[in-house]
Structure 1
């Protein structure tokens, strides 16, 4: 099969770029080229139109496909809308060109391979948009608020089983805008890019809590073109200065395992996100989200972090976890997950994105007008020469290498009993950050989700403590529980929950050293705060040993995990923490269990209580048992094992905090 790509280029005056009919046998045809095996459609079109663009050829949607046979060979011809920056009279291979209007095209016989494309571009309404202003785009978006997607697509033209169904319905049906991937905004006359994104919610006792359902994916990054540009020249700025963002209500996150009908998703909000000054004075103020100076400064800082790696030909080191507002998420199917940098080296294909936590902040602060969390950045001017992370770490630096007792005394923090509160670390962190709020918490890392700090909230940064014992590591680092072995076995690595978490999550590590005689003694006089550090898993580790361990252990689950009963304990064949690898699986339950949930009794505070033992999860295939006690088969089943979690090894995490010791 031979694949041909054709370039359908439309000029501002409504003319189309054609092979010159007078030198082409009086045949009207669009320029095209055979796509090479190692090329994408975009690469082939850029090769075809070399000299017709400066940095990157803007390629839009596929206009049509034609299939035919010639001399026993099958040909597939894909025609794409293209938007060149420059005009020319010849292609690089010497073929002559002409810009023709539709009347001039009609004077010549159409190339049969191009007839579908010719019919489309000569249709009277082709290329004419009614959305010439930001207000026009926004008003049409507002008209959809309250509608369900199935109502918009009443003729069922889009497949609701497709993950992209919401975006397809809004963009292609409601706005009648073809799917494309051009470098210009969707509505170039208005300078507006259209985005559709979900909201998830949960019902609290007296209110509903809303959060962003996912990151907002923006434009694909061309590492070669982004190599030597400024922020104002970047593809991010060119494409996303004004975003018409349509939120739809997706799901109640407290209701697990329910089948969803995407046709019932309801449009909830429509707003114009303005990253630049708006040039339409009559635009309705209530629909405008004008980013604050602080948020814009943070976006610029994150862009600079990303751009520095691209400019240094280190795009292969990019992960979404390097930043907190503007990120880079992986993009592309398995065939096109890698692309080339300016120096020719390969790197994962990525797109700019607003991270999920930042999208929740936007939703709550700008759209829902909720009371804002306390910001650790007092004014945007602080970000002119310092990063957000440096400013946050400055809050901790005066207390480095002080005991928890001394820090507590500094804040006049006392407690009535001889034993310090379990959540003392949380109480001290809140005071070191000068945050308002209540001292609620149980003494676990989950407490830090209650910190009322904008820059650390909504999952933008995950706060975790690491406690040493006389300067030595003592604890593995839990990163993710596994709710279902069956779901885990069905995942591929780059689409897995663990990859998603570690690839996107930024951590704030708070490091303490227990200098008491006994490691179980948490007397604050012997608990020393060593300092704080922002950290994320490096790309090399994520794509290296972590991936390797994940694949090894998931394959064991798929093929039947090996379980051995020995000395009244059960051992498995997962990678051990003692193996020296970065990652391992270990139990995530206080008591082991190898059977389905069951009811039993236990003594607590001198009283007998009925409890449900639910510390096991079902396996996708039966386990391979050795020495299983035959008289206890009801407790040691084939298809259950104690629930597990993914942990980073303590020695690995110890290496990450060396500068704080």
Structure 2
């Protein structure tokens, strides 16, 4: 059952289990087990973790709700990392969310609170096996990069608790069918079914809901994997703020400055004029240094964005995303696109509203992520632009009048700022934009 590894370990001794697991570091399953070819993780998620359980630890994978090493309460989780390019440098990022277990809608209301939930028990003590994902490699050759005992850090518990409560409240209100990944920050209820038609019953409604699982978001797992918290700066908290969730904490920071203009805030914080003045004001209000990443924002994948609202409530400008590559657009499905990734991002909208004299004053903040229910509309815009490129008409754009959520328009310096396309002459640079009317409605809902 093995090659070079002595398979003796004591299931009743946590140190023995961890020591045995750490022998995997720097090796692949091909090197240390007799596993055959593994299932493609794109087609069968969890196949790599199952192989570690079966071929390395020597027990049959199961769907038992108890911890994998129940004798010591230790849960085994295998999770992939990938290497991503950031300009000229590369960074490590989590490839996907970490799924913790299925949500049982029918029994969830019995749990009452997070501390007494099955999830809290499941994620309190984990053996995290991290492996390097390589797109063209056979999974049996993925290299294990680290093995560590890990649990939810105490500083993250207020937000995890709030995320759990949000999902719990929807189930108890009979609205499990309305759960969305955009509802929460660190913890989410991700869809989990063989196909999109599968549904499960819920306790307080006759409307069936999609099967979902508890999961830690990919942005959160990226922060965990990088192990860089010491290089980040956590938002400062007073004694009375230690149990606040993230939205409450951020609102507490901003509320003292509501009603002030950008110029007043600039003078208050002693900032010089610069292209990123509003972003620097945001960091000063939050109490963090310009050069440090904000730990809580990294975990939740939050990107701050300043939005100026006219007196009507309509944003002064539409929100744009980075320019797309026409060749990449043609060959990439929506779910694998950068655009989809931007829409899965959570944003901190810092809102400046126009007053009667035409001055923009800090008025509110809200967290926003495109609801799951709007992703099909965004996909329609993406697919329309993709067809234009495929038909050799990259010069045509998906218009805001044709889509409720988003549109495409130029984003170059001028008409000479172009990119090549697959089926014709170079075309001016373009990007996807969120419609102003859509943003106005979404901001109004988020603020209320």
Q: Same fold (TM over 0.5)?
A: yes
- Aligned-pair CA distance for 1:310: 1.3
RMSD (CA atoms): 3.6
Match of 2:171 in 1: 310
C-alpha separation in 1, matches of 2:86 and 2:342? 26
Match of 1:532 in 2: 365
Q: Is 1:270 matched with 2:147?
A: yes
Q: Is 1:183 matched with 2:65?
A: yes
- Aligned-pair CA distance for 1:509: 0.3
Q: Is 1:196 matched with 2:78?
A: yes
Contact 2:329/2:386 (CA < 8 Å) preserved in 1?
A: no
Contact 1:616/1:643 (CA < 8 Å) preserved in 2?
A: no
* Runs of at least 5 residues in structure 2 that lack an aligned partner in the other structure: 1-8
Contact 1:244/1:271 (CA < 8 Å) preserved in 2?
A: yes
Deviation digits for residues 419-439 of structure 1 (CA, Å, limit 9, x no counterpart): x3211112211211111234x
Q: How is 1:194-343 mapped onto 2 (pairs within 5 angstroms)?
A: 194-201=76-83, 209-230=91-112, 231-250=114-133, 259-275=136-152, 291-292=153-154, 294-334=155-195, 337-342=198-203, 343=205
C-alpha separation in 2, matches of 1:335 and 1:133? 42
1:172 alignment partner, one of 54, 57, 66: 54
- Aligned-pair CA distance for 1:379: 5.8
Q: How is 1:460-609 mapped onto 2 (pairs within 5 angstroms)?
A: 460-469=301-310, 472-479=314-321, 482-483=324-325, 491=333, 498-499=339-340, 501-502=342-343, 504-513=344-353, 526-543=359-376, 545-550=377-382, 553=384, 556-557=387-388, 560=391, 570-572=395-397, 574=398, 576-579=399-402, 581-591=404-414
Query: Closer, same or farther in 2 for the Cα pair 1:571/1:549, shift >3 Å?
Result: closer
SS of 1:228's partner is helix
2:419 alignment partner, one of 600, 615, 625: 615
1:394 alignment partner, one of 228, 252, 255: 252
Query: Closer, same or farther in 2 for the Cα pair 1:206/1:470, shift >3 Å?
Result: closer
Q: Which has the larger radius of gyration?
A: 1
- Aligned-pair CA distance for 1:383: 4.7
SS of 2:349's partner is strand
- Aligned-pair CA distance for 1:154: 5.0
Match of 1:143 in 2: 23
1:423 alignment partner, one of 249, 252, 276: 276
Q: Which has a greater percent of strand?
A: 1
Q: How is 1:348-359 mapped onto 2 (pairs within 5 angstroms)?
A: 348-359=210-221
Contact 1:148/1:263 (CA < 8 Å) preserved in 2?
A: yes
- Aligned-pair CA distance for 1:353: 0.8
Q: Is 1:132 matched with 2:9?
A: no
SS of 2:110's partner is coil
**TM-score, normalised relative to structure 2:** 0.83
C-alpha separation in 1, matches of 2:200 and 2:151? 31
C-alpha separation in 1, matches of 2:138 and 2:184? 34
Contact 1:592/1:615 (CA < 8 Å) preserved in 2?
A: no
C-alpha separation in 2, matches of 1:329 and 1:212? 16
Query: Closer, same or farther in 2 for the Cα pair 1:185/1:592, shift >3 Å?
Result: farther
Deviation digits for residues 356-388 of structure 1 (CA, Å, limit 9, x no counterpart): 222223234xxx46524222252686254x432
Contact 1:489/1:554 (CA < 8 Å) preserved in 2?
A: no
| Most deviating of 579-588 and 221-230 | 579-588
Match of 1:457 in 2: 298
SS of 1:167's partner is helix
Query: Closer, same or farther in 2 for the Cα pair 1:299/1:458, shift >3 Å?
Result: closer
C-alpha separation in 1, matches of 2:328 and 2:228? 41
C-alpha separation in 2, matches of 1:207 and 1:642? 27
Higher RCO structure (Cα 8 Å, ≥6 apart):
2
- Count how many residue pairs are aligned between Structure 1 and Structure 2: 434
Q: Which has a greater percent of helix?
A: 2
Contact 2:330/2:390 (CA < 8 Å) preserved in 1?
A: no
* Runs of at least 5 residues in structure 1 that lack an aligned partner in the other structure: 1-128, 252-257, 276-290, 439-450, 518-524, 564-569, 594-612, 623-635
Query: Closer, same or farther in 2 for the Cα pair 1:459/1:354, shift >3 Å?
Result: closer
C-alpha separation in 2, matches of 1:501 and 1:346? 30
SS of 2:256's partner is helix
Deviation digits for residues 392-433 of structure 1 (CA, Å, limit 9, x no counterpart): 1121112222111111121233x4xxxx32111122112111
- Aligned-pair CA distance for 1:505: 2.7
